[in-house]
């Protein structure tokens, strides 16, 4: 396993991070525990979760993923060995997150409530990396790095006020470091500027979608990540499974996310299907597993701090972790870039 600095925090995190959003829905507590056991045996020291999880989000299961991680750490007595990241949701009309039934927003009261609930579920008194899951302001898409701009203005809590609340959590010892997610270059720089002129914490990372079919993080956010030491925690590196080839030719594997939930439309645009076929064929031409090639590409980018992988079985998890040993040669990268130019960001 490789290890990389998490921003300027002094922490070294594994280049592959264990994602958790299936635990409590597609995976049971025992299966989640088995995945964490195996991942840590392989050298992973970094787990990413969220108050939202598991996915798909719903009132009946919300918070179950954090509870599974909490029970695992309590049973293994290994909290000090885990670099633990979780998230507070941004603005949402969903009302089941807060005790008073209010729609979610990044107000001081709601952030304080969210962190205390996460700490209780996780059975810990501190969170290593506390991330804003998505902005409080209206943005062009779920992620703020869309390819089409929509000028939408709604009520919002400022980035500065959000960071001031996160600073309170750091001072209280509940949070060690802070990060952002689904954020734009403008938003990231606002966080950094406020920290520069106050005693607020400096964001250590940005968690955005990044894959062979969604390279919108390049080039503005990539430059920001490298020059400002706010590295990318890449999510959906397999485009929700499409880059594994398992959905090729209209296949619908039993137990897959698409078969269970039919909510992968972000990855099902017509041109995206052509891109999946091209990348899968390229991997096989080079004698590589398509999933491992896709993951190795993400991990190898100089602006990536950690690549967040997810799996519903130990077999998938082993395949994904083994991608750390796959090398993207200059020749292969040139072929990948040629496909990218032909089918540019078809699934942002």
Inform me whether the pLDDT recorded for 171 exceeds 80: yes
* Burial (0-12, 13-18, 19+ Cβ within 10 Å), 130: buried
Residue 16 is predicted with a pLDDT of 98
Residue 138 is predicted with a pLDDT of 83
In this prediction, residue 11 has a pLDDT band, given cuts at 50, 70 and 90, of very high
Q: Whole-angstrom Cα distance, residue 64 to residue 26? A: 12
Residue 259 is predicted with a pLDDT of 61
In this prediction, residue 116 has a pLDDT band, given cuts at 50, 70 and 90, of very high
In this prediction, residue 28 has a pLDDT band, given cuts at 50, 70 and 90, of very high
Task: Supply 260's token pair.
Answer: 């269970």
- Please tell me the chain's helix, strand, coil percentages from 3-state DSSP, rounded to the nearest 5: 40, 15, 45
Residue 264 is predicted with a pLDDT of 61
Inform me whether the pLDDT recorded for 339 exceeds 70: yes
Nearest CA among 176, 214, 209, 219 for reference residue 343: 214
Residue % of the chain over a pLDDT of 70: 96
The lowest-confidence range among 8-17, 49-58, 80-89, 255-264 is 255-264
> What is the rounded average pLDDT of the residues 279-307?
98
In this prediction, residue 153 has a pLDDT band, given cuts at 50, 70 and 90, of confident
Cα separations (Å) of 142 from 43, 77, 137, 218, 343?
32, 36, 11, 18, 22
Task: Supply 130's token pair.
Answer: 């506390």
Write down the pTM of the prediction: 0.96
The lowest-confidence range among 139-143, 239-243, 333-337 is 139-143
Inform me whether the pLDDT recorded for 44 exceeds 70: yes
> What is the rounded average pLDDT of the residues 313-330?
98
Cα separations (Å) of 125 from 52, 119, 200?
19, 6, 21
Domains by residue range for the chain, with CATH = 3-240+299-326 (3.20.20.100)
Task: Supply 242's token pair.
Answer: 């499409």
Nearest CA among 304, 316, 315, 299 for reference residue 1: 299
Cα separations (Å) of 175 from 35, 118, 130, 277, 285?
25, 11, 6, 43, 46
Residue 150 is predicted with a pLDDT of 76
Residues 226-280 pLDDT 10s: 999 999 999 999 999 999 988 777 777 777 776 667 666 778 888 999 999 999 9
Residues 76-106 pLDDT 10s: 999 999 999 999 999 999 999 999 999 999 9
Residues 288-298 pLDDT 10s: 999 999 999 99
> What is the rounded average pLDDT of the residues 314-326?
98
In this prediction, residue 154 has a pLDDT band, given cuts at 50, 70 and 90, of confident
Residue 142 is predicted with a pLDDT of 65
The residues annotated with a catalytic role in the active site are 53
Residue 139 is predicted with a pLDDT of 80
Average confidence score pLDDT of the chain: 94
Q: Is the dihedral of CA 30, 33, 37, 42 positive or negative?
A: positive
Residue 146 is predicted with a pLDDT of 76
> What is the rounded average pLDDT of the residues 166-185?
97
Residue 144 is predicted with a pLDDT of 63
């Amino acid at each position: 396993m490789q290890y990389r600095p998490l921003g300027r925090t002094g922490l070294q995190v594994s280049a592959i991070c264990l994602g958790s959003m299936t635990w409590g829905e597609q995976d049971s507590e025992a299966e989640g525990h088995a995945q964490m056991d195996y991942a840590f045996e392989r050298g992973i020291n970094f787990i990413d979760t969220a108050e939202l999880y598991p996915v798909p989000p719903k009132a009946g299961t919300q918070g179950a993923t954090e509870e599974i991680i909490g029970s695992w750490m309590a049973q293994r007595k290994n909290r000090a060995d885990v670099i633990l990241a979780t998230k507070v949701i941004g603005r949402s009309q969903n009302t089941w997150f807060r005790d008073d039934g209010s729609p979610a927003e990044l107000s001081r009261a709601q952030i304080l409530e969210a962190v205390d609930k996460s700490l209780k579920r996780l059975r810990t008194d501190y969170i290593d990396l506390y991330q804003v899951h998505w902005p409080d302001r209206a943005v062009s898409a779920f992620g703020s790095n869309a390819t089409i701009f929509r000028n939408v203005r709604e009520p919002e809590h400022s980035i500065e006020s959000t960071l001031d609340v996160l600073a309170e959590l750091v001072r209280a010892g509940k949070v060690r470091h802070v990060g952002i997610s689904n954020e734009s270059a403008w938003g990231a720089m606002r966080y950094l500027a406020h920290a520069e002129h106050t005693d607020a914490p400096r964001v250590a990372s940005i968690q955005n979608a990044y894959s062979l079919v969604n390279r919108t993080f390049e080039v503005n956010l990539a430059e920001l990540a490298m020059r400002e030491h706010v590295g990318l925690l890449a999510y959906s590196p397999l485009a929700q499974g499409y880059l594994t080839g398992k959905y090729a030719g209209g296949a619908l594997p039993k137990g897959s996310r698409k078969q269970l939930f039919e909510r992968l439309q972000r990855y099902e645009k017509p041109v995206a299907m052509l891109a999946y076929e091209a990348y899968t064929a390229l991997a096989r031409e080079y004698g590589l597993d398509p999933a491992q090639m896709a993951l190795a590409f993400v991990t190898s980018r100089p602006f990536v701090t950690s690549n967040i992988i997810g799996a519903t079985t130990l077999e998938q998890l082993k395949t994904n972790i083994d991608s750390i040993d796959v090398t993207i040669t200059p020749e292969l990268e040139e072929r990948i870039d040629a496909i990218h130019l032909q089918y540019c960001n078809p699934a942002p």
